[in-house]
C-alpha cells in the first residue's frame, strides 16, 4: 500500500504543478485545499490515521518521571540514570527501558508507559559506560518496583553514594527509547524513507525499531552480527545497574558496540572522541530520514569532522523533539567528551534545532558549544499546508499544529536569542513556486517562510540556491558553501 500511496501522491503533485501554473492566486489556494483533502483520503485509506490515533492515545497515558540526582562523593564522572520495568513474575527479568547520562548532579526526566518500575544511578568514574566495583551507586526505595499511574507525574530522588539495597543479579533487556552515541551506518534499514513515514504515522513503531536517536555515522553494518542482535541486547544487572554497553544493539540490524570509543560497526577504529574531529549533526524535516544526508556526509572531511544524525519521529510535537535533542546533546557531551558540535538542519529540522538551541542557552555548564548552525530551506514562518491539514484531517498530526503560521511554537521560536558563540547561516532555495500557494519558493516552502525576518536578523549569512526543497541537501553548490563554512567556523579548539 505504501508504494501505491507514493505513486498516487507523486501523480497528484505533478498534476498540481500544472494546474497551479495556470490559475489565479485564489484558485491556487482553493485547489491546494482540495488537493490536501484528497491526500487525506488516500492516506487514511491505508490505515495511517487510525494507527496514528491509537499511538497518540497511548502516548497520552505515559507518566512523567521528574527526577533529581545527588552525588555527595561525586568526583566529576558522568552519572548514569536508568529506569527498569519490573518483571511480570518472581522469576522474570527486569527490562531496562530508559537511560540518561548526566554530566553532573542535577535533573533528569523520563516519559514511561504506565506500569511498575525501579530506578537507579551510578557514577561512571572510569568512563567505560559500565558500573564497576567501587563506583558510587544508589537505588530508589530499595529497588522495590513503584507503580506509575496513567498520565501521572512522579518525583524520584536518587543519591549516588554507594548505599541502598542492590537487587539480585538478573538479566535485563535494553528497551531504551532514544539511542545516544550508537555507531551506525546509513545503509541500515532504520534510516530509510519507510522509517521516515513511520515517524509521522506510527511513532510507537518508529521507537520500537530503534530509529530514534543521536547516531554516529561511522563504519558499515556487519551483516554477520545482525543475526546475533537478540543475544547482543541481553545484559546483566548488578546493583540494579547495566554491566555492559549493549544498548547499541538494534532490532533493525545494528550490532552492539564495544565500550571502546574508537570501535565501529565493521570493526575499524576511528576515534570519534578525538579533540581534532568536531561532530557535525544533521537533522531532517517532516517525513525525513537520515539517509537523505548521504551526499552531505560523503562530502565531509573525515579528518576534521565526525558525522552524526539526529533522527526523530517527525509527527510528534516540535517542542518535545527539541527538548529530546537538547538532552541527547548533553548526554553526547558527557559520553563522547564533545566540547563543540555543529548543527546542519533541513526543512522542519531547522525549527527543531532552533528550539533546541534556545533550550541549551538556559544551561551553561554541561552542554557542548555550537559554533555553527545552518538551516537549509526551513519553513521558519510555518507552512500553509499544515493549517489545511489541521482543518481537514480526521486525526491531526501534532507537528502540523506547530507548523501552522502564527502557532504558539513559532511565535516563541525567537524569544531566546542564539548564544553569542553561535554563528548562523540561513540557506534558502528558490527553484520553483510553492505547490501550496503558488508563491516563489522551492516547490514546498515559500521564500516568505524561509526568509522570516527574525531569522534574517540573527543570521550571519543569508544565501540562496537554485534548488528544490528536497534537492538542496544534494546540491553541489550548497554543499560546497556548507563545507566552506565548516572549514572556517567549525574548527576544533
Question: Which sequence spans correspond to the domains of the chain?
Answer: 2-46, 62-174, 179-489
Q: Which residues pair with residue 171 across a beta bridge?
A: 236
Residue-wise pLDDT tens digits, 100-149: 888 889 889 999 999 999 999 999 988 887 788 888 999 999 888 999 99
Residue-wise pLDDT tens digits, 260-316: 333 333 333 345 556 678 999 999 999 999 999 999 999 999 999 999 999 999 999
Instruction: Tell me the C-alpha distance between 120 and 138, whole Å.
Output: 6
> Would you say how long the chain is, in residues?
493
Half-sphere exposure of 230 (CA within 13 A, CB side): 1
Residue-wise pLDDT tens digits, 166-223: 544 554 556 678 899 899 999 999 999 999 999 999 999 999 999 999 999 975 333 3
SS (H, E, C) 79-128: EEEEEEECCCCCCCCCEEEEEEEECCCCEEEEEECCEEEEEEEEECCCCC
SS (H, E, C) 214-268: EEEECCCCCHHHHCCHHHHCEEEEECCEECCCHHHCCCCCCCCCCCCCCECCCCC
Beta strands, E only, 363-418: 372-376
Q: According to the model, what pLDDT value does residue 38 have?
A: 45
If we measure between CA atoms, which residue out of 391, 462, 381, 367 comes closest to residue 424? 462
Region of poorest pLDDT, from 175-179, 252-256, 342-346: 252-256
Tell me whether residue 476 is exposed, middle or buried, using C-beta atoms within 10 angstroms of its C-beta: 0 to 12, 13 to 18, 19 or more.
exposed
Residue 477: pLDDT band (50, 70, 90) is very high
Instruction: Tell me the C-alpha distance between 75 and 136, whole Å.
Output: 10
What does the longest C-alpha to C-alpha distance in the chain come to?
A: 74
Instruction: Tell me the C-alpha distance between 99 and 117, whole Å.
Output: 13
pLDDT at 4 over 50: no
- Is the pLDDT higher at 38 or at 111? 111
Compute CA distances 491 → 278, 341, 448, whole Å: 7, 10, 32
pTM: 0.81
If we measure between CA atoms, which residue out of 325, 197, 175 comes closest to residue 251? 175
CATH fold of 62-174 reads Immunoglobulin-like (2.60.40)
**Region 179-489: CATH code:** 3.40.50.1820
Q: According to the model, what pLDDT value does residue 19 have?
A: 44
Half-sphere exposure of 408 (CA within 13 A, CB side): 3
Instruction: Tell me the C-alpha distance between 55 and 210, whole Å.
Output: 16
DSSP for residue 303: T
Amino acid at each position: 500500500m505504501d508504494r501505491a500511496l507514493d505513486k498516487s501522491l507523486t501523480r497528484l503533485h505533478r498534476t498540481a504543478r500544472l494546474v497551479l501554473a495556470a490559475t489565479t492566486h485564489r484558485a491556487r489556494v482553493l485547489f491546494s485545499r482540495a488537493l490536501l483533502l484528497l491526500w487525506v483520503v488516500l492516506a487514511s485509506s491505508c490505515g495511517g490515521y487510525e494507527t496514528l490515533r491509537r499511538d497518540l492515545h497511548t502516548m497520552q497515558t505515559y507518566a512523567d518521571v521528574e527526577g533529581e540526582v545527588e552525588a555527595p562523593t561525586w568526583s566529576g564522572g558522568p552519572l548514569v540514570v536508568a529506569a527498569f520495568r519490573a518483571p511480570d513474575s518472581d522469576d522474570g527479568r527486569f527490562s531496562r527501558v530508559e537511560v540518561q547520562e548526566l554530566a553532573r548532579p542535577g535533573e533528569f526526566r523520563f516519559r514511561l508507559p504506565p506500569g511498575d518500575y525501579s530506578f537507579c544511578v551510578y557514577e561512571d568514574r572510569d568512563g567505560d559506560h559500565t558500573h564497576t566495583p567501587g563506583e558510587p551507586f544508589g537505588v530508589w526505595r530499595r529497588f522495590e518496583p513503584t507503580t506509575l499511574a496513567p498520565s501521572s507525574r512522579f518525583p524520584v530522588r536518587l543519591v549516588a553514594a554507594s548505599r541502598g539495597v542492590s537487587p539480585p543479579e538478573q538479566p535485563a533487556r535494553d528497551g531504551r527509547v532514544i539511542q545516544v552515541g550508537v555507531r551506525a551506518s546509513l545503509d541500515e534499514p532504520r534510516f530509510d524513507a519507510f522509517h521516515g513515514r513511520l515517524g509521522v504515522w506510527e511513532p510507537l513503531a518508529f521507537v520500537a525499531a530503534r530509529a530514534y536517536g543521536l547516531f554516529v555515522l561511522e563504519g558499515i553494518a556487519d551483516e554477520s552480527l545482525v543475526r546475533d542482535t537478540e543475544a547482543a541486547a541481553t545484559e546483566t544487572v548488578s546493583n540494579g545497574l547495566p554491566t555492559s554497553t549493549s544498548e547499541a544493539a538494534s532490532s533493525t540490524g545494528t550490532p552492539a558496540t564495544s565500550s571502546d570509543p574508537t570501535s565501529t560497526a565493521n570493526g575499524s577504529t576511528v576515534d570519534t572522541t578525538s579533540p581534532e574531529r568536531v561532530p557535525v549533526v544533521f537533522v531532517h524535516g517532516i517525513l525525513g530520514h537520515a539517509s537523505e544526508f548521504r551526499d552531505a556526509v560523503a562530502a565531509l572531511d573525515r579528518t576534521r569532522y565526525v558525522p552524526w544524525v539526529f533522527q526523530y519521529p517527525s509527527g510528534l510535537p516540535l517542542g518535545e523533539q527539541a527538548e529530546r535533542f537538547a538532552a541527547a546533546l548533553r548526554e553526547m557531551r558527557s559520553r563522547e567528551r564533545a566540547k563543540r558540535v555543529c548543527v546542519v538542519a533541513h526543512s522542519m529540522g531547522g525549527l527543531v534545532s532552533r528550539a533546541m538551541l534556545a533550550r541549551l542557552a538556559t544551561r551553561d555548564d554541561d552542554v557542548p558549544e555550537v559554533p555553527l548552525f545552518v538551516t537549509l530551506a526551513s519553513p521558519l514562518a510555518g507552512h500553509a499546508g499544515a493549517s489545511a491539514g489541521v482543518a481537514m484531517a480526521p486525526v491531526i498530526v501534532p507537528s502540523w499544529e506547530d507548523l501552522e503560521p502564527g502557532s504558539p511554537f513559532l511565535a516563541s521560536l525567537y524569544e531566546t536569542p542564539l548564544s553569542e558563540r553561535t554563528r548562523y547561516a540561513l540557506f534558502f532555495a528558490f527553484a520553483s513556486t510553492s505547490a501550496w500557494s503558488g508563491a516563489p519558493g522551492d516547490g514546498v516552502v515559500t521564500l516568505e517562510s524561509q526568509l522570516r525576518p527574525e531569522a534574517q536578523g540573527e543570521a550571519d549569512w543569508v544565501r540562496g540556491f537554485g534548488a528544490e526543497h528536497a534537492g538542496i541537501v544534494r546540491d553541489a553548490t550548497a554543499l560546497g558553501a556548507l563545507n566552506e563554512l565548516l572549514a572556517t567556523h567549525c574548527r576544533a579548539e
